[in-house]
Structure 1
Amino acid sequence: MVNLGVKLKDLSLKNPVMTASGTFGFGEEFEDFIDLSNLGGIIVKGTTRHHREGNPYPRMAETPSGMLNAVGLQNKGVENFCKDIYPRIKHYNTNILVNVSGSAIEDYVETAAMINELEQIPAIELNISCPNVKEGGMAFGTSCASAASVIKEVRKVYKKHLMVKLSPNVTDIAEIAKTAEGEGADSLSLINTLLGMAIDAETRTPKLSTITGGLSGPCVKPVALRMVWQVFNAVKVPAVGLGGIMNAKDAIEFILAGASAIQIGTANFIDPQISVKVVQGIEEYMIRHNIQNINDLIGGLKFQ
């Protein structure tokens, strides 16, 4: 027997494997494939203050070793989540986190305040990769000042565990991480998708209706690993690593780079059972290497 339990500050996980927002629905969609209680946590799809239709089709495109998406945070809004979805999923025997998104600070604040009242939701994941419509459309998470402004206001109303999801589309991820920590983030998840695009050479048109979209999958893993390592060495709050994790080996690499937990995203589209397979694979790795406690692996990268 090995100990797979980890703590993200005040948030206890039975194991370090979580599912990434936007790739796992509300958990219900995967009940036929896995026992959700075997996961450390699930992060439900992005939730906004008001109903959003999302972007026009086409809004997904396959790329070499990855995929692009421009779904546009399609959801029915936080009131619908609280009234209709939360009652259906609150019984899950795992941590349920809500990914909170918005286009203005007040949207984030109102959404977070409503979720704060839900007893069985112990944490939110604050998505600061959203465009700030009042400031010309640049994402909140691409500058220290704008990141600080939204995190600070959400922290005032949200009293539980606040995980902040960092954008990789920045010059210095460590500086953004320090800012988030300074404004009250309890943990940091990274990375969100990289900005990319795809073109159909035959039709000479973009493959996405929005032209650009978020790149995820194995192709982003080296970037994600590098950023997790940088953040681990820059802040004291726990890091949650994601970006191209397709198997237990990938997950172990993120943990060695400094991630206290990981999230599985794109791989869920390929294998709906991958999350529990990764839990099993981590346990097998620990037994094989005679490691009793997963926490001994966190940041355990060795140097020549």
Structure 2
Amino acid sequence: MNSKKPQMRVDIGGIEIKNPVMTASGTFGYASEFEELIDLNRLGAIVVKGLSLEPSRGNPPPRIVETPCGMLNAIGLENVGLAAFVKDKLPFLRRLETPVFVNVYGKSTKEYAELVARLEDIDGVSGIEVNISCPNVKSGGMAFGAYPESAAEVVRAIRKQTAKPLMVKLSPNVTDIAEIAKSVEAEGADSISLINTITGMAIDIETRRPKIANITGGLSGPAIKPVALRMVWQVAQSVNVPVVGIGGIMTAKDALEFLIAGAVAVQIGTANFINPHTTTDVIDGIETFLMERNISDIADIIATLKL
């Protein structure tokens, strides 16, 4: 076993991070919620919860239900809005030594573009993660990320407004995720993260009513990992920009599977609700795995799947 710690730094579309472990939007709040629990400066990067131009109350309760090997949520992207984020949340994030990605969403292409334009000159925002799983009001509620054309339209509009590194987060609720990945890469995405939640449902058999007020919700947790892993592998084969893997990562072993499949980094989401130390545990676990195998650089394991 090598006693020297391996080199863990990776590059995500122009941002070098100290290790490949990030937080997933919506599961880590604005990071200050975890300040007493873990050393936030050990993280590769932080992705804050989804941000909109104006504050949003989200969906009515019940909004979360536990499922076998996961959970369904229909929070509805509740957030404080841009002004309050900059005034109340960003000062804490600026003090950290960890890059911060702001996850953004909008109800129209114009709204996405305006939000990103207003973030452009704000200090403390290292990069933008674009959530294209949101419904497009003008298209009858169909998600922007459902088709290559609509996904490309959003990224094209945003790219014109910012020079910051742009990560596009893909929805798994599509027919051909590789085509969508290629469409956003062509419009200037610097990196691609996937997957967002899988649309699901749960029913109370006594009342015969949905367990979530919104009827459907987003499934996350270990149940979606095999789907996420397959999609990450497909996208990594199809694009030249860095890919970030998301979906059911609970342990270092899970994270390593995504790296071997072609992801340069991972995001940890639902696991943060179960064990707030998951992120740092995964960092330690990856380091140990590499040291035990005398692998000196994380790059030597990325995209090494043998077929």
Superposition TM-score, scaled by structure 1 size: 0.99
DSSP-derived class of the 2:264 partner: strand
How far is 1:89 from its partner? 1.8
What does residue range 99-114 of structure 1 map to in structure 2 within 5 Å?
99-114=103-118
DSSP-derived class of the 2:48 partner: strand
Q: Which AA in structure 1 matches 2:20?
A: P
DSSP-derived class of the 2:206 partner: coil
Who is 2:246 aligned against?
242
Consecutive unaligned residues of structure 2, counting only runs of 5 or more, are none
| 1:7 corresponds to 2:16 | no
How far is 1:114 from its partner? 1.5
2:300 to 276, 296, 299: 296
Who is 2:283 aligned against?
279
DSSP-derived class of the 1:157 partner: coil
Q: Deviations over 1:65-123 (max 9, x none)?
A: 00000000111211111122112221111011100011111111111111111222110
1:191 to 162, 181, 195: 195
Q: Distance in 2 between matches of 1:285 and 1:274?
A: 16
Q: Deviations over 1:212-234 (max 9, x none)?
A: 01000000000000000000000
User: Is residue 232–residue 243 contact of structure 2 (8 Å, CA) maintained in 1?
Assistant: yes
User: Is residue 129–residue 166 contact of structure 1 (8 Å, CA) maintained in 2?
Assistant: yes
Q: Which AA in structure 2 matches 1:65?
A: C
How far is 1:139 from its partner? 0.2
Q: Deviations over 1:25-64 (max 9, x none)?
A: 0000000110000000010000001111100000001001
2:273 to 260, 265, 269: 269
Q: Distance in 1 between matches of 2:240 and 2:201?
A: 35
User: Is residue 4–residue 14 contact of structure 1 (8 Å, CA) maintained in 2?
Assistant: yes
- Segments ≥4 residues shifted beyond 6 Å: none
DSSP-derived class of the 1:222 partner: helix
| 1:86 corresponds to 2:75 | no
What is the count of residue pairs matched by the alignment?
Answer: 303
Cα RMSD over matched residues? 0.7
Q: Distance in 2 between matches of 1:293 and 1:299?
A: 13
| 1:62 corresponds to 2:63 | no
Q: Which AA in structure 1 matches 2:202?
A: A
| 1:52 corresponds to 2:56 | yes
| 1:155 corresponds to 2:159 | yes
DSSP-derived class of the 2:248 partner: coil
Q: Which AA in structure 2 matches 1:199?
A: I
Sequence identity percentage: 57
| 1:98 corresponds to 2:102 | yes
Q: Distance in 2 between matches of 1:72 and 1:110?
A: 21
What does residue range 2-41 of structure 1 map to in structure 2 within 5 Å?
2-41=6-45
Q: Deviations over 1:284-304 (max 9, x none)?
A: 00011111100111111122x
User: Is residue 82–residue 115 contact of structure 1 (8 Å, CA) maintained in 2?
Assistant: no
Q: Which AA in structure 2 matches 1:236?
A: N
DSSP-derived class of the 1:49 partner: coil
User: Is residue 24–residue 267 contact of structure 2 (8 Å, CA) maintained in 1?
Assistant: yes
| 1:168 corresponds to 2:172 | yes
Consecutive unaligned residues of structure 1, counting only runs of 5 or more, are none
Q: Which AA in structure 2 matches 1:265?
A: G
Q: Which AA in structure 1 matches 2:211?
A: K
Q: Which AA in structure 1 matches 2:22?
A: M
Q: Distance in 1 between matches of 2:62 and 2:251?
A: 29
Q: Which AA in structure 2 matches 1:125?
A: E
Who is 1:140 aligned against?
144
How far is 1:9 from its partner? 2.8
Who is 1:126 aligned against?
130
Q: Deviations over 1:152-195 (max 9, x none)?
A: 00000011100000000000000000001000000000000000
Superposition TM-score, scaled by structure 2 size: 0.98
